[in-house]
Amino acid sequence: MGRSFFGTDGIRGRVGTTPITADFVLKLGWAAGKVFSERTKGRKLILMGKDTRVSGYMFESALQAGLIAAGVDVALLGPMPTPAIAYLTRTFRAQAGIVISASHNPYYDNGIKFFGGDGFKLPDDVEEAIESYLQKPLITEESSKLGKAHRVADAVGRYIEFCKGTLPSGSSLEGLKIVVDCANGATYHTAPNVFRELGADVVEMAVEPDGFNINENCGSTQPALLQDAVVSEGADMGIALDGDGDRVLFVDHKGHTVDGDELLFVIAKHRHQQGGCSGVAGTLMSNFGMEIALRELGIPFVRTNVGDRYVIEALRENKWQLGGESSGHIICSDLTTTGDGVVAALQVLNAMGETGMPLNTLKKGMKKYPQSMVNVRIKQKFNLNNFPVIQQAVASAEDELQDSGRVLLRPSGTEPLVRVMVEAEDAALVSKLVRQVADVVESEVGCDVG
């Protein structure tokens, strides 16, 4: 069967609109509890954490009730980063971990994400099994078989120690002044302490969540205030995380942003120099400049569909250890099982410390190519293979680029749009070609171009 609710990153949407409602989430907790109970002998334990959205209280209670009704014990972690829940699920030997979060979205959205007992996101067959139970009536276990709930008192400290332990023994951040922007999200009580306990002078930003200010004018999606703060504080760098802590970007000492592709290149280059980078997995949206820079270093590179689960699949398939997205979702699979903003930041800081070079010097081996994207609103389902005129337009653009760039047509998974993207070294050529291809797409299948 297919999946009606699970997307590439769990279930997400506007609070109060199906499926992000209290009654649905109650049923979801029960359905997940039934599935994991069927697949487990002995103790049945699921960990649960959340970010700082006001709706997290409601969904935490609903999930807890559903899981207990299914006969599953629940360990409540409170506000914790998504990667912390993946880590703690493994260390507690739990059957699963649940995250209540909508990541970088505004406070009025929320979502539910799952990790298996191995710390990886659930395989398709488990998500499908949960969805099948959603179609059945909720039947509560008899009282003697109900689950219990307890709060984990030392979750924050455990995660902080884990993050610090991902650096080589004896590593220190002494002498560095770092501005840390926690997006008023789940890392507000963990990330600053990780960097501070490693010796850095930490200036905290966006660490006062009130349930409504998560990702608001702060964090990795809106770094303008961090850029200003780095310059005004005379800091060595700024680190911006998103609402659930699985993404990171940097600001160098001059106030310039350093995105996920550039950070991935810095980590890959340093590991390559140490003899430890077998390959890198990116996505269709990864900057062409990173691909060229990795090629020049002799580091293999593959692209996947957009989404960290596809990056992780590529890493596991190729037995590589490093991958990520330009958004700052970076996976170091030798250290943890999912994207972790703090762990990725520490890898960048380690490269700086071991080379003695500032960030803007380390990233110089990669030249970002200009990108331009045009969204074409379409009136029918789009498959490039069915439109030879569009295929010819793409081929013509690629001929003009002569291997110095690329053309990408990507249907949106959530809107009736085709995203036309062109990327090349010549910005003027990019602007010309993206409009040229978009005009053809619009004339063949579009309603308008915007």
Active site residues: 103
DSSP designation for 319: T
Nearest to 368 by CA among 273, 257, 444, 269: 257
Type of residue found at 52: T
**Angle at the Cα of 229 (from 215 to 330), degrees rounded to 5?**
50
Closest by CA to 71, choosing from 175, 143, 154, 133, is: 143
Return d(Cα 13, Cα 21) in angstroms, integer.
10
Task: For 166-278, list the strands marked E by DSSP.
Answer: 177-181, 201-205, 237-241, 248-251, 257-258
DSSP state of 304: E
Tokens of 27: 């049923």
Token representation of residue 423: 């990327």
- Count of all residues that appear for the chain in the document: 450
Rounded to a whole number of angstroms, the CA Rg of the chain reads 23
DSSP label of 375: E
Displacement of CA 389 from its chain's centroid (Å):
36
- Rounded Cα gap, residues 150 and 76, in angstroms: 6
DSSP secondary structure, 189-209, as one string: TTHHHHHHHTT-EEEEES---
Q: Where are the alpha helices (DSSP H) in 234-307?
A: 260-273, 288-297
Distance, CA of 159 to CA of 426 (rounded, Å): 45
One DSSP character per residue, 5-41 reads S-BTTBEEEETTSTTSSHHHHHHHHHHHHHHHHHT--
Sign (positive or negative) of CA dihedral 219, 220, 225, 228: positive
Distances (CA, A) of 74 to 78, 216, 311: 12, 31, 30
**Closest listed residue to residue 436, CA positions, set 422, 417, 419:** 422
Closest to 112 in 3D by CA, of 99, 122, 125, 124: 99
